[in-house]
Amino acid sequence: MDLLSTLLATVVALGLLVTIHEYGHFWVARRCGIKVLRFSIGFGPALLRWHDRKGTEYAIAAIPLGGYVKMLDEREAPVAEHELDQAFNRKTVKQRIAVVAAGPIANFLLAIVAFWIVAVVGFSTVAPVLGPVPAGTPAAEAGLRSGLELTGVDGTQIRSWQDVNLQLIRRLGESGTLEVTAKPFESGAETRYQLRLDDWLKGVEEPDPMAALGLTSWQPQIPPRLGQVASDGAAAEAGLQPGDLILAIDGEPVSDWLTEVVPTIQASAQQTLTILVERDGEQVELALTPRPKPANDVVVGYVGAGVEGVEMPAHMQRQISYNPLVAIPVAVTKTWEMTALTLDSLKKMLTGLVSAKNLSGPITIAKVAGASAKSGLESFLSFIAYLSISLGVLNLLPIPVLDGGHLVYYVAEWIRGKPLSERIQTWGLQIGLSLIVGVMLFAIYNDISRLGG
C-alpha cells in the first residue's frame, strides 16, 4: 500500500508539473498563431490520444518523466505553402522567445498558486522554541539557551522551524557572522545573538544545519516507550520489542527519550549497554550494542528503534493563515525566495561550497512525494511548489537542449540580426545533451547510494 501511494503521489506531482510547463508553451504558441501538432504528457507509446478541432493531437504516453509540445516547423519536416505563416521558424524572434520562456514561467505561476492555497487554507506549525543547547556549540557560545523563542535569522522574520532551516541553508559553505534574534517564549524583549561561521559545513554530504549549530527544538517529556523497532537493527538483535518501556540504562534510571536515552545511545557506539525494560508488567534485562553511524563528521551510536509519539502541547502550536488578498504577496514572496535559494544552491554546488552529493534524482523525488502526500494537503502542495520552482530554474539554465539554451540562441539572433550557424547550434545541442544525461545519471547514482546507506 505504501508503494502504491508513493507511486500515485509521484505520478500526480510530476504529471501536474509537466502538464503546466508544456501548457505554458502551448498557450503562448497558439496566441502567436503557431500550429501545434502534438501536446504529449510523457514519452514513448501513447496510452491515450485524441484530437481537437484545430488538428492538434493530445497524448498521454507510457513514460511519465516529461512531455513536449510539437509545433509546425520547416526545420523538422516540409510545410505546405498555405501553412507557412503558422510555422514556428517563420515567427519573429520575440515571439519565439515568448513561446520558449512560457514553460518555465508557467512553473513559477504554479508555485505561486500552490503557496497561495496553502496560505489561505492555513497550516499548523510548532513554535521555534529552543530545547537543550549542547555546550561547546556555536549556539551555546553565542549565549542562546533553552526556552528562548527564535524570532529572526539574518534579519528575516521567523515563525516556524521550517523558516529557520530555510534561512540556515542559505548560509551553507559560508564564513562570517550569522545573526539570530530570540526572546523568552510568549513574552519579553528580543535579543540579538552572533554565531560565527567558518566555511560552515562546506562540502558536507547531507548537512544538518540546526544540529551543526547546536539548535534543538523544545520537546515535551517523551516517555521512553518504543513505538517501532527495525527488524535488522541493533535493538531487534538485542530483543527489544515495540511497547517496551525503558526504565534504566547501565543501572541509571531514565524517564525521557530525547534528553536521556538518545544521548546515551549516541555516545555508546559499539559499546554494550545493559537495558532494563518493562514488558507486559514484568521487568526484562537486555544487552544492547549500538552500531556506529556517521553524522556530521562524527560517529554516533544507532540502534534502529523509534519512540511512541506524544502530542505537542496546544500552547506550542500555531495556526498560520491569511485572507485571500494578503496571501497573494505572501505567495509571490515565497516563490521569489525559493527561486533565489535554488539558484544560490546551484552556484554553491558548482563552486564546491555545497556537496554535489545533495543532488537528487527521481527516486528521492518519489520518496519525498509519497511522504508529503501522507503528511497532508499543505505538505503536498508545498512539495509541488518547491519542485515546480526547481523545474522552472532548471529549464532556464543556459544549456542547449533546455529552454534556457534555446533562449540563448534566440537572444543572440535578436542581437546579431541573424541566427547562429547550424554548426554552432548542433555542437551546443550535443554538449548540452551530454551534460544533462551526465547530471541525471549522477543524480540517480546519489539516489541509489542513499538507498544503500
Note the pLDDT tens digit of each residue in 132-174: 898 999 999 999 999 999 999 999 998 888 899 889 989 999 9
Domains 138-213 and 226-310 share a fold: yes
On whether the 226-310 domain is CATH 3.30.1120.10, my answer is no
**Domain 138-213 -> CATH class:** mainly beta
The mean-pLDDT minimum among 18-32, 116-130, 245-259, 418-432 falls in 418-432
Per DSSP, helices labelled H in 32-142 are: 93-121, 138-142
Kindly state the percentage of the chain with pLDDT values over 90: 58
- Work out the pLDDT band at 368, boundaries 50, 70, 90: low
Average model confidence (pLDDT) across the chain: 89
Contact 269, 300 (CB under 8 A): yes
Contact 121, 321 (CB under 8 A): yes
CA 31 vs. chain centroid, Å, equals 34
CA angle 290, 293, 297 (to 5 degrees): 135
- Grouping H, G, I as helix, E, B as strand and the rest as coil, residue 14 is helix
CA angle 419, 421, 422 (to 5 degrees): 110
CA 103 vs. chain centroid, Å, equals 21
Pick from 82, 29, 74, 35: which is nearest to 56 by CA?
Answer: 35
Taking every pair of C-alpha atoms in the chain, what is the biggest distance, in angstroms? 91
Q: Which residues, in sequence order, are bridge partners of residue 157? A: 152
For 198: left if phi > 0, alpha if psi spans -120 to 50, otherwise beta; the answer is beta
- Grouping H, G, I as helix, E, B as strand and the rest as coil, residue 438 is helix
pLDDT for the residue numbered 191: 93
Separation of alpha carbons 151 and 122, rounded Å: 20
Enter the pTM of the model.
0.81
As a whole number, mean pLDDT of residues 254-272 equals: 92
Pick from 366, 390, 370, 365: which is nearest to 380 by CA?
Answer: 370
282 is catalytic: no
- Check whether 429 has a pLDDT greater than 70: yes
pLDDT for the residue numbered 174: 92
pLDDT for the residue numbered 177: 94
Separation of alpha carbons 32 and 97, rounded Å: 11
What are the sequence ranges of the domains in the chain? 1-6+93-122+322-453, 138-213, 226-310
pLDDT for the residue numbered 431: 86
pLDDT for the residue numbered 47: 92
- Check whether 420 has a pLDDT greater than 70: yes
Pick from 453, 334, 422: which is nearest to 75 by CA?
Answer: 422
Q: Which three cell numbers stand for residue 133?
A: 543547547
- Work out the pLDDT band at 267, boundaries 50, 70, 90: very high
Separation of alpha carbons 306 and 227, rounded Å: 6
Contact 213, 137 (CB under 8 A): yes
- Work out the pLDDT band at 332, boundaries 50, 70, 90: very high
Which residue among 22, 149, 237, 378 is the active-site one? 22
- Work out the pLDDT band at 361, boundaries 50, 70, 90: low
Residue 189 neighbours by CB under 8 Å, 6+ apart: 183
Pick from 306, 311, 312, 310: which is nearest to 227 by CA?
Answer: 306
pLDDT for the residue numbered 369: 63
pLDDT for the residue numbered 296: 63
